[in-house]
């Protein structure tokens, strides 16, 4: 057997079909290598009990605890049985509940004083934390034979607790790991020997043995330190190779031209750019003037003026003879950008048809235009979306290929093969987290030479995430809000516990409207036929007897709008906006809302980014716990954009002790997007964050924390840059190349090789 094949061995061969199927479907583990990299989440010390008061609600947990008491209850006139078992850790208590035929075995085994590992989902019933029908493994069985399995699986003093699922407990995963652990000796070490020895790391096979079956806490620390470095280093090498490949590409330098479009635009600005905008613009202009493509991430707080920075970059490129394209994630946002950019440019865009062509200026490469001999310039700004009518779409495509349009704003429609540019010089990608790397690369490939790239996000990103998720980009930060922005007050509205708070929320909306302002109401669902069909297709799970009624579907725009029109907001001009409306209808609603002809807009998250209506001062987010932290911060950024203060009310029926409510309280407590981004990351699986944003990366992070391990990531980045500069193709490091192949899918690897 060669060194690679042991890790590639399907789990089915070693563990049997049933276990392998559960691991594949519920834990995404398919091979021996996958299972060996499925590390314990934590370790329990034999004899020590888990702190029961610290268990997270709604999560699958594994705990070591002692039975305090057990009793069988009868219900349904004696036809039903329920076993209630109380666990203790010496301070807190946790209730277990078993029903029906599942009562007999635990009633016989879970006697007061017995210790065991229990696994299940934490819920609340009658205001008590409980596990319903948990699985368990006795740790102190009185019968010697009865305890054999537990002792075999957990020979040491440290009991590994694995990320598990309802279908497969931590201790069964531990047994499966025991089966494949000998293969750890076949591990291919990705770290160059000089790096490994220089930093005093243990060998990879030893690290795998120690993380799964440690004898001491020092074993765990040594293993984790080594495995963190593997994850950080291999990912940083992938990003360093991409950066290196990009530096080898040629690009047309797009230098600013005196007395051009940019100067004419700046001269008409009714305000002064913030220091932050000027600094960031300088960084971008410097990149545009080089003969290698710019790759820059512009991250800025909601409302910090990123669009202004992007427009000035686009005008610079048009001045230099090129075209600029802005890619937006939704039609509503594309239309908003088209409208706001056209308005910002004024006659430079609106009167483009009055300009006549003139020869390019010396030093400039672009078209010189003048009106009646004037020295100003103009350019056409076009919109291209998938739902445009055929004539308008045909005209837009013609304007792009002839160069008539200097600036195009569009959706994914810009990526289609039939879209051709005359000379694409700059691609601006708005809200990067909505697009994969391949999508932005598809647009970049439309230039005669690789165009410059500016990626924008209004979701602030901690430095370590920027180094991992966006590690192939240079970073600029815009954290200064323009003058005149108002504060936003945010409050959680516990609709279930205190329904009168929700009534007061609608009164506040009325008060804002009576004061001449407008409001948003945001819902997670549309509530149309397509939604209903999707709900039906999912089917309904049978609720456990102790559960409350089946969790209701998220609140819907169409239902809430109807309720508000007939009830709390009767008499106000209320309209709806969602993604499945006809584009003309969406545009019409947004125009009327922007013009103040609509009082309340009930919408989905189509208004999340880019929508700018300064007169809108209030936002009520229904089922706010169904949204992520960053999304709530983005949504909230739609109010407080004018001179009047903003109000954001987060409505939730989530239990007060739940992680969902903690998330909402965190959002309500701060307007600092960078602080919220850290909270967001701490509450989500980091691998998901990386996997969504760094398209093509298969493996998620397991021991590396992009929040806590900043030093490791920064040091790994430096080492990766050094390695790639010395050996770009990694010809002298075949083991590292193997690890890279495992991290990247084939299409992604082919892209990296193009450099």
- How many CB atoms lie under 10 A from the CB of residue 113? 9
Which of 19-33, 350-364, 451-465, 600-614 is predicted most confidently?
Answer: 19-33
- Residue 480, sorted as left (phi over 0), alpha (psi -120 to 50) or beta, turns out to be beta
Out of 10-14, 64-68, 480-484, 706-710, pick the least confident: 480-484
Check residues 506 and 475 and name the one with the higher pLDDT.
506
Average pLDDT over residues 297-303: 81
Rounded Cα distance, 460 and 477, in Å: 9
Average pLDDT over residues 351-368: 40
Go through 563-588 and write b for each residue having 16 or more CB atoms within 10 A of its CB, e for each that does not. ebbeeebeebbbbbbbeebebeebbe
pLDDT of the residue at 532? 61
Average pLDDT over residues 290-305: 86
The predicted-structure confidence for 681-740, as pLDDT tens digits, reads as follows: 666 545 444 444 444 444 457 888 777 888 899 899 999 999 999 999 999 999 998 888
DSSP letter for 211, please: H
Looking at the chain, the whole-number percentage of residues with pLDDT higher than 90 is 39
Closest CA to 238 of 481, 571, 468: 468
Rounded Cα distance, 297 and 189, in Å: 33
pTM of the model: 0.69
Check residues 229 and 54 and name the one with the higher pLDDT.
229
Contact 479, 299 (CB under 8 A): no
pLDDT of the residue at 484? 65
pLDDT at 216 over 70: yes
pLDDT of the residue at 284? 96
Average pLDDT over residues 243-260: 89
| Non-local CB neighbours of 263 within 8 Å, separated by 6+ positions | none
Check residues 755 and 112 and name the one with the higher pLDDT.
112
Closest CA to 415 of 393, 444, 457, 448: 444
pLDDT of the residue at 642? 81
């Amino acid at each position: 057997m060669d060194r690679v094949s042991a890790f590639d061995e399907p789990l089915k061969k070693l563990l049997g079909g049933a276990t392998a199927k559960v691991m594949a479907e519920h834990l995404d583990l398919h091979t021996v290598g996958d299972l060996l990299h499925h590390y314990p989440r934590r370790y329990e010390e034999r004899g020590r009990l888990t702190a029961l008061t610290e268990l997270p609600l709604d999560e699958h947990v594994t705990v070591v605890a002692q039975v305090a008491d057990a009793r069988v209850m009868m219900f349904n006139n004696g036809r039903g049985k329920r076993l209630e078992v109380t666990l203790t850790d010496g301070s807190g208590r946790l209730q277990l509940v078993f029903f029906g035929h599942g009562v007999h075995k635990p009633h016989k085994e879970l006697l007061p004083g017995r210790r065991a590992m229990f696994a299940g989902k934490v819920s609340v019933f009658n205001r008590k934390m409980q596990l319903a029908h948990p699985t368990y493994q006795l740790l102190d069985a009185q019968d010697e034979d009865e305890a054999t399995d537990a002792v075999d699986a957990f020979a040491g003093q440290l009991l590994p607790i694995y990320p598990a699922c309802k279908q497969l407990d931590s201790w069964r995963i531990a047994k499966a790991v025991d089966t494949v652990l000998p293969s750890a000796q076949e591990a291919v070490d990705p770290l160059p020997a000089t790096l490994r020895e220089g930093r005093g790391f243990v060998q990879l096979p030893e690290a795998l043995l120690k993380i799964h079956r440690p004898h001491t806490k020092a074993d765990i620390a040594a293993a984790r330190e080594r495995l963190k470095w593997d994850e950080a280093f291999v990912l940083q090498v992938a990003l360093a190779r991409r950066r290196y490949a990009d530096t080898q590409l040629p690009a047309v330098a797009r230098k600013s031209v005196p007395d051009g479009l940019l100067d004419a635009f700046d001269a008409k600005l009714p305000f002064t750019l913030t220091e932050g905008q000027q600094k960031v613009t300088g960084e971008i202009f410097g990149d545009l003037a080089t003969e290698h493509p710019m790759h820059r991430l512009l991250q800025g707080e909601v409302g910090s003026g990123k669009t202004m920075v992007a427009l000035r970059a686009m005008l610079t490129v048009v001045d230099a003879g090129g075209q600029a394209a802005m890619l937006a994630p939704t039609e509503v946002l594309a239309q908003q950008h088209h409208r706001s950019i056209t308005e910002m440019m004024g006659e430079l865009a609106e009167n483009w048809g009055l300009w006549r062509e003139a020869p390019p200026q010396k030093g400039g490469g672009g078209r010189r235009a003048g009106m009646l001999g004037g020295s100003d310039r103009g350019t056409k700004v076009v919109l291209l979306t998938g739902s445009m009518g055929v004539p308008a779409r045909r005209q837009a495509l013609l304007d792009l290929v002839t160069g008539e349009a200097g600036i195009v704003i569009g959706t994914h429609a810009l990526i289609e093969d039939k879209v051709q540019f005359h000379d694409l010089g700059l691609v601006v990608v708005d809200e990067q987290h909505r697009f994969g790397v391949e999508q932005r690369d598809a647009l970049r490939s439309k230039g005669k030479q690789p165009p410059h790239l500016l990626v924008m996000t209004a979701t602030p990103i901690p430095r370590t995430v920027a180094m991992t998720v966006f590690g192939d980009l240079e970073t600029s930060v815009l954290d200064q809000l323009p003058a005149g922005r108002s504060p936003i007050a945010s409050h959680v509205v516990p609709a279930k516990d205190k329904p009168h708070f929700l009534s007061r929320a609608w009164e506040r909306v009325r008060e804002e409207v009576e004061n001449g302002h407008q409001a948003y109401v945001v819902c997670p669902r549309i509530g149309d036929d397509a939604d209903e069909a999707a709900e039906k297709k999912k089917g309904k799970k049978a609720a456990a007897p102790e559960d409350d009624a089946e969790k209701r579907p998220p609140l819907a725009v169409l239902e809430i709008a109807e309720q508000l029109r007939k009830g709390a907001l009767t008499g106000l001009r209320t309209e709806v906006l969602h993604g499945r409306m006809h584009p003309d209808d969406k545009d019409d609603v947004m125009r009327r809302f922007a013009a103040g002809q609509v009082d309340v807009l009930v919408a989905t998250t189509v208004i999340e980014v880019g929508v700018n209506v300064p007169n809108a001062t209030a936002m009520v987010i229904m089922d706010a716990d169904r949204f992520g932290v960053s999304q709530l911060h983005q949504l909230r950024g739609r109010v407080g954009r004018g001179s009047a203060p903003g109000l954001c009310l987060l409505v939730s029926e989530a239990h007060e002790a739940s992680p969902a409510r903690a998330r909402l309280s965190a959002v309500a407590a701060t307007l600092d997007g960078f602080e919220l981004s850290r909270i967001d990351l701490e509450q989500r699986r980091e691998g998901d964050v990386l996997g969504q944003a760094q398209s093509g990366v298969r493996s998620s992070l397991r021991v590396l924390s992009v929040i806590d391990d900043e030093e490791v990531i920064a040091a790994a980045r430096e080492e990766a840059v050094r390695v790639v500069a010395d050996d770009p193709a990694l010809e002298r490091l075949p083991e590292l190349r193997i690890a890279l192949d495992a991290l990247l899918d084939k299409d992604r690897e082919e892209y990296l090789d193009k450099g």
